[in-house]
Chains A and B, each alone.
Chain A
């Protein structure tokens, strides 16, 4: 065949296939990729970019997750070709209490970020009240706003908003699938949900351990080995103080 310079020029005018730019940006970590992972809490769609995990949801389909992501994060996620085994491992680790993931919370306000970072400090298998988060981030009266920020957590399960509960024993709202889902995840982490609710309804907020003189939130692991006869149920900080207990340095039931 004879090829002319006009033919060559036309060859130079081909267009890159759709999606190439997006794949390049995802490869550089500048765009979000997502994949579906099978986990202890079922199938979870997780999106990430170079800065870290940017969203998670238990969507019913990839399409549903993409819609959710676009509404929540405002970007277009790209389905990962082969989700890396490393990512799968990190996700498994994270859900079993090891903290290995990084998060991309760029779209959130400073307050929302502070709330979510604080929630992440709550150890696996433990819970804290909303007021604790508010106090710890230096906005003790912003309990409601803390609740809203947690309800809008774009990365539930991994940023454990489920570990923040109402002080009155009501399990409270949960953006990750409603109160039942929240109960199920806490149970999976070994939290005795019913026992907690019973304590709260009886007005019990803390437990003091006589042998150490320290009082804690009921799920704090600090006093978990105490024998039952050494445990004192406490209704408030005043009572604890009067009984000679000092606040635990780990779960911080009182402002330091």
Chain B
């Protein structure tokens, strides 16, 4: 048991920033981002304590955590009701990270808001590949989709983000 606890403590420190970024990019706001990161890690812990030691040892942590986080985030943005999108960094942040210089914050919030406008399938593909820097193979594994599908979703998503596409959002 002690082993799992140490694995988990390391996991939290190694992946908290990545998971927060993932939550931010997928949900479009910092508040949800924090909860996505927190829920993901707690779910991971509950799973880890049930896994046999060799499964814990062989775990591909990055892909595994991203898969959990995508599910956690989906539960949030698929929830009925209005979605929160960060507006020009107006929300107060109790514990600012190093990226908080106001201008940078506003820019990042703009990027997150733009992502939030993408249809879900494009957004998830773009976020995993371009924000989280996963390989296509990893992103495909996380999403449970063929690599080709992920590739084409990334390309379509990017075209929309660049303003090169008038495609209607029909997802």
Encode A1-45 as 1/0 by CB contact (under 8 A) with B.
111110111111111111111011101101000000000000000
B112 and A11 form a contact (CB under 8 A): yes
B99 and A28 form a contact (CB under 8 A): no
- Report how far A28 CA is from B20 CA in the complex, Å: 18
B103 within 8 A of A: no
B114 and A20 form a contact (CB under 8 A): no
Contact of B5 among A9, A20, A30 (CB under 8 A): A30
Contact of B108 among A10, A16, A24 (CB under 8 A): A10
CB-nearest residue of chain B to A8 = B130
- Report how far A187 CA is from B34 CA in the complex, Å: 49
B9 and A17 form a contact (CB under 8 A): no
A9 and B133 form a contact (CB under 8 A): yes
Please give, as numbers and ranges, the residues of chain A lying within 8 Å of B144 by CB-CB distance. none
Encode B136-166 as 1/0 by CB contact (under 8 A) with A.
0000000000000000000000100111000
- Report how far A11 CA is from B93 CA in the complex, Å: 17
A11 and B111 form a contact (CB under 8 A): yes
Q: Given A8-B131, A17-B94, does the pair A25, B12 have CB atoms closer than 8 Å?
A: yes
Q: Which of B1-58 contact A (CB under 8 A)?
A: 5, 8-9, 12-13, 16-21, 24-25, 30, 34, 37-38, 41-42, 45
Size of interface on A: residues with Cβ below 8 Å to B: 26
CB-nearest residue of chain A to B94 = A17
B20 and A20 form a contact (CB under 8 A): yes
Q: Given A17-B94, A24-B42, does the pair A7, B111 have CB atoms closer than 8 Å?
A: yes
B97 and A16 form a contact (CB under 8 A): yes
A11 and B24 form a contact (CB under 8 A): yes
CB-nearest residue of chain A to B24 = A14
Please give, as numbers and ranges, the residues of chain A lying within 8 Å of B93 by CB-CB distance. 17
B82 within 8 A of A: no
Shortest Cβ distance from residue A242 to the other chain B in the assembled complex, whole angstroms: 55
24 contacts between A and B (CB under 8 A): A2-B162, A2-B163, A3-B111, A8-B25, A8-B111, A8-B115, A9-B133, A10-B107, A11-B25, A14-B97, A15-B98, A16-B17, A16-B19, A16-B97, A17-B20, A17-B97, A19-B95, A20-B20, A21-B13, A24-B38, A24-B41, A25-B9, A28-B42, A28-B45
Q: Which residues of A contact B (CB under 8 A)?
A: 1-5, 7-21, 23-25, 27-28, 30
13 further A-B pairs in the complex, CB-CB below 8 A; given A8-B115, A11-B24, A28-B41: A8-B127, A8-B131, A9-B133, A11-B111, A14-B20, A16-B97, A17-B34, A17-B94, A17-B97, A20-B37, A24-B41, A27-B42, A30-B9
